[in-house]
Amino acid sequence: MFTAAIKSYSRAIELEDTRVFALIECGNIFLMLGSFRKGIEQFQQALKISLQNMSALYGLASGLLGMAKECRNSGAFRWAASLLEDARKVAEASIKSAGNSSCTWKLHGDILGYSSPGQLTYAQVFPWTEESQSLEYNAETFKKSIYSWKNTCGLAAISARNSYQRALHLAPWQANIYIDIAISSNLISSFNQDNTLDKCTWKLPEKLTLGALALEGENSEFWVALSCLSDCNALKQHSLIRGLQLDVSLAYAWAYLGKLYREENEKKLARQAFDCARGIDPSLALPWAGMSADAHTGDSTPDDAFESCLRAVEIFPVSVDITFYALPKLAEFQIGLAKLALLSGNLSSSQVFGAIQQAVQRAPHYHESHNLNGLVHEARMQFQAAIASYRLARYAINISLGTVLKSHLKDISTNLARSLSKAGNAIGAVQECEDLKKEGMLDAEGLQIYAFSLWQLGENDLALSVTRALAASVSTMDRISAAVSVSFICRLLYYISGPDLAIGRILKMPKELFHSSKISFIVSAINALDQNNRLESIISSSRYFLASQEEITGMHYLIALSKLIKHGTKHHLGFQNGVNHLRKALHMYPNSMLISEVWGNSQVSSRCSIVDDSDSKNKEGLKSAWEISSAGAVACHAIGNSEPRFSFPTCSCQCTSSGAMQELQKCLRREPWNHNARYLLILNLLQKAREERFPVNICIVLERLISVALSNEFYSGKEAICQYQKFQIYLCASEILLQRGNIMGCIDQAKNASVLSLPDSFQFFGHLLLCRAYAAEGNLKFSKEEYERCLELKTDFLVGWLCLKLMESQYEEQPASNIFELAFKEGSEGRNNSWNMWMAVYSLGMGLICLWNQDFLSAEEFLEQPCSLTSAESCIFLCHGVTSMEIARRYHDSQFLSSAIRSLSKAYITSSVPIPIVSALLAQAEGSTGSRKKWERNLRLEWFSWPPEMRPAELFFQMHLLARQIASESDSSSRVEGWQSPLQWVLRAIHTNPSDLRYWKVLPKLL
Amino acid sequence: MAKSMKLAGLKSVENAHDESVWTATWVPATNSRPPLLLTGSLDETVKLWRPDELELVRTNTGHCLGVVSVTAHPSGVIAASASLDSLVRVFDVDTNATIATLEAPPSEVWQMQFDPKGTTLAVAGGGSASIKLWDTATWRLVSTLSVPRPEGPKPSDKSSSKKFVLSVAWSPDGRRLACGSIDGTISIFDVPRAKFLHHLEGHYMPVRSLVFSPEPDGRKLYSASDDGHVHVYDAEGKAIIGAMSGHSSWVLSVDVSPDGEAIATGSSDKTVRLWDFKMRAAIQTMSNHTDQVWAVAFRPGGGGRLASVSDDKSISLYHCS
């Protein structure tokens, strides 16, 4: 009906837009429907026509009030306040034109204070703002600020009450105005905190409510109001029950009844009442809050309580009734929520953040709100803000007249000290702690902060003495805080006096102190660094206290790490031990993400051959999955092997990294500032470019990525990781320039790279690249210089030596040094299972060098070695096979032919994907020995080992041979070569490569 | 009756109170002092002013809400003030010593008046639909004169608020009481017999002010109502004598001059008007107030002074001749 009315009115307005009646009626309907904004528009239109129209003014003011309430309900207090300011102006304009309208005065009162019954507005909405947004509050300005806030609120409340009184004076028979006055009086007294005005037995708010009831005794809401404004529990209960008798579906009456019963400790009745309330109206906040309080005291976990309370706070701004009359404790829900969050560890959630911000806005005079605000900030790692909040909390305590428990002050000061220390302000923290000490309020936590800050300041002796004081008090603590203290002591001892002294002290401590999982971790960690395992007994006893799955897996991780450290040498951690342990652990706990992640990681770093194992080492500080997988991808040189267009991977350890590039790009899109992702993307792209023989488009992309990466200020840092990454990026840039033929640019970049201050081991690669660049330029002299520089620098990375060896072969004279063999032997120590591989690769390199020099026989010798060493590397077999065949061809030695066949068939068997050429060669070799069947079979295999679009002309030609071979035979159609006639095969070969005369020669014979 | 009365502004005090001034009455002269003007305001204070300079004598505090009514004992020694929370404070005019506080349920104290002999205080009982009579010697409630309801009294009847009593007035001989309700009816009571006599009809909106003409046998009752009219009734005869119109908004207050010749009214239209009953017309309109005029009061005992108080926080004093 309303919408129909709106339509009709709109039509009326269209027809005749100089009459206000339709506009006002339309606006009123909009207000009724809750579309305040539309309503406001209508009234504003009406006011343009008739400047002083009472109804329009009234409607406009109520519309603004309604909108302000909406804002307030959604928690936007400041916006609400500004809307209310507008509404107030409109209402006052309306009053000016007619001062004897009771409803206008009531509206004015509503705007300033409340509206019918008890919807809070200006006086309650007006938020406390941190003036000028500066954090530099001192006690005096804070006091002033609070005072002026209180004043503003109080004045608003008083003028609201005055407006209500005017309204009542004009229309004394309106019962609800009594309630309004009662509520505003209650609010005023809450701001003034003086309850001394009761000369009579009844307090003013109670009395006025009674007045309203005298006029309208059947109004159930008045009864609820009475219960809220009364101080006497019996009266509260009576009036709530009376209210419920009049209207049993008053949800908030049930809720208040529940609250009342809770206060009286009638748990069961309270729950029943809350249940009733929730049943009637589940959007009420109070029952949820009540549930949360129940949960908190009862046996359920703080988490449940937190959930319920969160519910309450979320509903709260929407719920009108909650603030119905419980005004003095405006922010109690928010504060309660924050307290529960503290217990359940949800402090950093943004709901809590929002709630506590509101609490601070609305109860700035209450120290707890600032304190909790500080805690929340701290949990969100905003230490400066936390410090400011704690300071405010302390000022608030100083201002509040009532007697504040000393423990509150202590808590706040301790919090402040902790935040200062976390924010890096050790001096301030020490100052706070000393103040606390003077007051005699330094507890265990305070002592810890004190000791820690002293240690930060370098005052180790003082720190130790404080630690001693802490240790003395451990025996009096409860178990948890004792455990915390003990672990703190252990760590501090370690940091101050080093592992040996710390271990000695720890051994002296009574054993039962270590009965906690946390301590077990710390002691184990210290023990990991101790080669003598002196703490073994303590550890084994403390490990019994590891309870949860996570703790146990964490401990396994730690043990694995400690094995890495203990069994490792300087640069090579004892991966194998660690991996073994983790494998066992994984067997026991197959679900543990942590272990499998770490296991995968260390597997990658231990197995994979190439450079970056220092890179992988950094990763062991638990990084996200994409980082590990992409770093692994770089390390494994295995990008893009899903598509065998460019290369044919032979590595048996296939990293599951085909998606790494995509993952990295996704990550970079999510976090464009993430330099680490960009860095890994560059490395991965380079890998891809290398595989695809440096296509121009990828190179351009890489160049742009690199220029972006280098402009990141992160790389101006002096930390090792920054320098290392910068170095790698320079090397990438240089490599790309080299591949694109820009030798000058390449040399520049490589020089950039080599000036960075990095360990020799890395520097090596810079010079290696320079060496290559000069060689490419043809400048052998400089190249040689760089080569020698490399020899001086040495590296731990075998691949570096290998590259250098290859470079070496470029120079005429052969420096007869066995430096390479030495380096290899040294480098492969402690990597038992990879040593073979390295030797194989080395031999492969040597073999290749010999091949370049046309020295096939020694090449064969070199390649023979790895064939016997490894059993897995098909490319070595391939090389050996090819070399053997070449020798066989040159020297007509059938012995080499058979070894070629052996190697090639091994190459075929061991490779995970069919490698082209292998089968063709095999076919040729087999054919040479006269085995036609094998020749045919292998040739067919060769056909399938090529990706369709890459098949060369020669393959077609060979197929023609096959086809001709079987043309005479009967069942030819089932085979590959039978798909086409020999003629067609040759035509295809010619089509693919028309320049080969052999094909043309065959053609006439087939025609 | 040739040229009758004329008002001339004597003195005006701006911001006499911090908030709207809602009520005013004159405290009769005693041997030691001249008559004083007593005003009550929304700012919760009661102030005493000495004419003609309107010099502030004292500010009485103590009310928790706005002061809706003040009245003075005929002897001029004591006075009473009532606030919105229905607390009546009776105090010594000269010393401000509290003599009594009378409590009533909220909404049950509006206009008050001492009887001409000064033995009883009549209080318009608002929501109780009655007049409460307090004995001025013991300060106890001695009687309640209830306005009969149309369909018989029922305690839980919602219509009680329809008979909400706003105003009260004693006849000069102290035998009759009149009270005005928000439905526009005026009820007349026989006080000695504590009996309801009859209703006076005519108004259709709340009657906020009533006053009997001061002749010793006065039966003439003037009433001011939100309907904008001033009626003149024969209170005994249950008849309307006349009506005077002219205010453009509610008439909030009416008073009659000590000689009974002139009537003054204050209104929501921000004016004070002086009426000649014989001409049934306004003879003068004072527009010096900027907001609605809540009360007008002639000074008893001659001298020709009229005071008016207003929502604009000011008090004005006029000379009338």
If asked whether residues A836 and A904 sit together in one domain, one would say yes
Of A900, A935, A970, which closes a domain? A935
If asked whether residues A931 and A955 sit together in one domain, one would say no
Does a structural domain hold residue A1001? yes
Handedness of CA A295, A298, A300, A302 (dihedral sign): positive
Does a structural domain hold residue A350? no
Query: Mean of the pLDDT values across residues A635-653?
Result: 47
If asked whether residues A918 and A954 sit together in one domain, one would say no
Does a structural domain hold residue A470? no
Q: What does chain A come to in residues?
A: 1007
Distance between CA atoms of residues A401 and A976, nearest Å: 99
Q: Write out the DSSP string of A510-569.
A: -GGGG-SHHHHHHHHHHHHT-TT-TTHHHHHHHGGG--SHHHHHHHHHHHHHHHHHHH--
Q: Please tell me which residue, A261 or A126, carries the higher pLDDT value.
A: A261
Of A547, A581, A610, which closes a domain? A547
- Chain B residue at shortest CA distance from A197: B64
Lowest mean pLDDT among A185-194, A842-851, B79-88, B229-238: A185-194
**Would you call A173 and B161 a contact, using CB atoms and an 8 Å cutoff?**
yes
B182 vs A: CB within 8 A:
yes
Provide the token pair at B159.
């219509």
What are the phi and psi torsion angles at B316 (to 5°)?
-125, 145
| Closest of A526, A523, A536, A584 to residue A557, by C-alpha | A584
**Domain of residue A875, CATH code:** 1.25.40.10
Does a structural domain hold residue A1005? yes
Provide the token pair at A171.
């229309």
* E strand spans, A573-621: none
Of A935, A954, A986, which closes a domain? A935
What CA dihedral angle connects A157, A163, A169 and A172, to 10 degrees?
-70
**Would you call A172 and B107 a contact, using CB atoms and an 8 Å cutoff?**
yes
On average, the pLDDT of chain A sits at 71
- Reported as a single tens digit per residue, the pLDDT across A469-517 is 777 777 777 767 777 777 777 777 777 777 777 777 777 777 666 666 7
Does a structural domain hold residue A517? yes
Does a structural domain hold residue A881? yes
Provide the token pair at A680.
């890994």
Q: Give A211 to chain B, closest Cα distance, Å.
A: 4
Residue A199: which pLDDT band, with cuts at 50, 70 and 90? very low
Provide the token pair at B177.
């009481």
Q: What does chain B come to in residues?
A: 321
**Would you call A100 and B42 a contact, using CB atoms and an 8 Å cutoff?**
no
- Chain B residue at shortest CA distance from A196: B64
Q: Is residue A351 within 8 Å of residue A314, measured between CB atoms? A: yes
Distance between CA atoms of residues B314 and A407, nearest Å: 54
Provide the token pair at A195.
């309850």
If asked whether residues A484 and A543 sit together in one domain, one would say yes
**Would you call A204 and B64 a contact, using CB atoms and an 8 Å cutoff?**
yes
Distance between CA atoms of residues A433 and A427, nearest Å: 10
Distance between CA atoms of residues A420 and A391, nearest Å: 11
pLDDT at position B180, please?
A: 92
Question: Max CA-CA distance within chain A?
Answer: 130
Residue A841: which pLDDT band, with cuts at 50, 70 and 90? confident
Contacts of B205 (CB under 8 A, 6+ apart): B182, B184, B225, B226, B227, B250
pLDDT at position A565, please?
A: 61
If asked whether residues A925 and A989 sit together in one domain, one would say no
**Domain around A981:** 946-1007
- Chain B residue at shortest CA distance from A188: B64
Query: Mean of the pLDDT values across residues A769-790?
Result: 81
Does a structural domain hold residue A166? no
Q: Give B112 to chain A, closest Cα distance, Å.
A: 15
pLDDT at position A867, please?
A: 72
**Would you call A200 and B101 a contact, using CB atoms and an 8 Å cutoff?**
yes
pLDDT at position A45, please?
A: 83
Distance between CA atoms of residues B279 and B246, nearest Å: 13
Handedness of CA A46, A51, A53, A59 (dihedral sign): positive
DSSP tag of A205: H
**Would you call A208 and B101 a contact, using CB atoms and an 8 Å cutoff?**
no
Chain A residues with CB within 8 Å of chain B CB:
98-100, 161-162, 165-166, 168-169, 172-173, 175, 178, 181, 185, 197, 199-200, 204, 207-208, 210-212, 214-218
pLDDT at position B296, please?
A: 94
pLDDT at position A822, please?
A: 66
What CA dihedral angle connects A237, A242, A243 and A247, to 10 degrees?
130
A761-770, A874-883, A953-962, B253-262: which is most confident: B253-262
pLDDT exceeds 60 at position B263: yes
Distance between CA atoms of residues B224 and B211, nearest Å: 9
**Would you call B107 and A211 a contact, using CB atoms and an 8 Å cutoff?**
yes
- Reported as a single tens digit per residue, the pLDDT across B240-254 is 988 999 898 899 999
Residue B89: which pLDDT band, with cuts at 50, 70 and 90? very high
Q: Is residue A761 within 8 Å of residue A735, measured between CB atoms? A: no
If asked whether residues A922 and A957 sit together in one domain, one would say no
Query: Mean of the pLDDT values across residues A391-403?
Result: 71
pLDDT exceeds 60 at position A569: no
**Would you call B105 and A178 a contact, using CB atoms and an 8 Å cutoff?**
no
If asked whether residues A514 and A484 sit together in one domain, one would say yes
Q: ipTM greater than 0.85, yes or no?
A: yes
- Reported as a single tens digit per residue, the pLDDT across B293-303 is 999 999 987 77
If asked whether residues A952 and A866 sit together in one domain, one would say no
pLDDT at position A75, please?
A: 67
Provide the token pair at A975.
């085979």
pLDDT exceeds 90 at position B79: yes
pLDDT exceeds 70 at position A975: no
- Structural domains in chain A (count): 3
Q: Is residue A294 within 8 Å of residue A278, measured between CB atoms? A: no
Q: Which amino acid is at B63?
A: H
What are the phi and psi torsion angles at B79 (to 5°)?
-145, 165
If asked whether residues A860 and A882 sit together in one domain, one would say yes
Residue B131: which pLDDT band, with cuts at 50, 70 and 90? very high
**Which of A169, A196, A219 should we substitute to test contact with B (largest number of B Cβ atoms within 10 Å)?**
A169
| Closest of A127, A37, A114 to residue A81, by C-alpha | A127
B22 vs A: CB within 8 A:
yes
Contacts of A206 (CB under 8 A, 6+ apart): A182, A226, A229, A230, A231
| Residue A406: CA count within 13 A, CB half-sphere | 5
Q: Is residue B110 within 8 Å of residue B124, measured between CB atoms? A: yes
If asked whether residues A955 and A990 sit together in one domain, one would say yes
Contacts of A902 (CB under 8 A, 6+ apart): A881
Distance between CA atoms of residues A638 and A630, nearest Å: 10
Q: Is residue A191 within 8 Å of residue A155, measured between CB atoms? A: no
Provide the token pair at B219.
């039966």
**Would you call B107 and A212 a contact, using CB atoms and an 8 Å cutoff?**
yes
| Closest of B295, B9, B282 to residue B273, by C-alpha | B282
A84-88, A466-470, B130-134: which is most confident: B130-134
| Residue B171: CA count within 13 A, CB half-sphere | 22
Domains of chain B listed by start with CATH number = 20-103 (2.40.10)
- Reported as a single tens digit per residue, the pLDDT across A818-839 is 666 666 666 555 555 566 667 7
If asked whether residues A928 and A980 sit together in one domain, one would say no
Q: Is residue B211 within 8 Å of residue B176, measured between CB atoms? A: no
What CA dihedral angle connects A518, A523, A529 and A533, to 10 degrees?
-140
pLDDT exceeds 60 at position A620: no
**Would you call B166 and A172 a contact, using CB atoms and an 8 Å cutoff?**
yes
- Chain B residue at shortest CA distance from A186: B64
Lowest mean pLDDT among A604-613, A907-916, B25-34, B277-286: A604-613
- Kindly list the residues from chain B whose CB atom is less than 8 angstroms away from the CB atom of residue A211: 85-86, 105-108, 127
Does a structural domain hold residue A965? yes
Distance between CA atoms of residues A304 and A296, nearest Å: 8
- Kindly list the residues from chain A whose CB atom is less than 8 angstroms away from the CB atom of residue B289: none
B268 vs A: CB within 8 A:
yes
Q: Give A199 to chain B, closest Cα distance, Å.
A: 9
Residue for token pair 């007697």: A403
**Would you call A173 and B127 a contact, using CB atoms and an 8 Å cutoff?**
yes
pLDDT exceeds 80 at position B14: yes
If asked whether residues A838 and A904 sit together in one domain, one would say yes
**Would you call B161 and A166 a contact, using CB atoms and an 8 Å cutoff?**
no
Q: Within A216-250, where are the H helices?
A: 220-229, 233-246
Residue for token pair 């005065």: A105
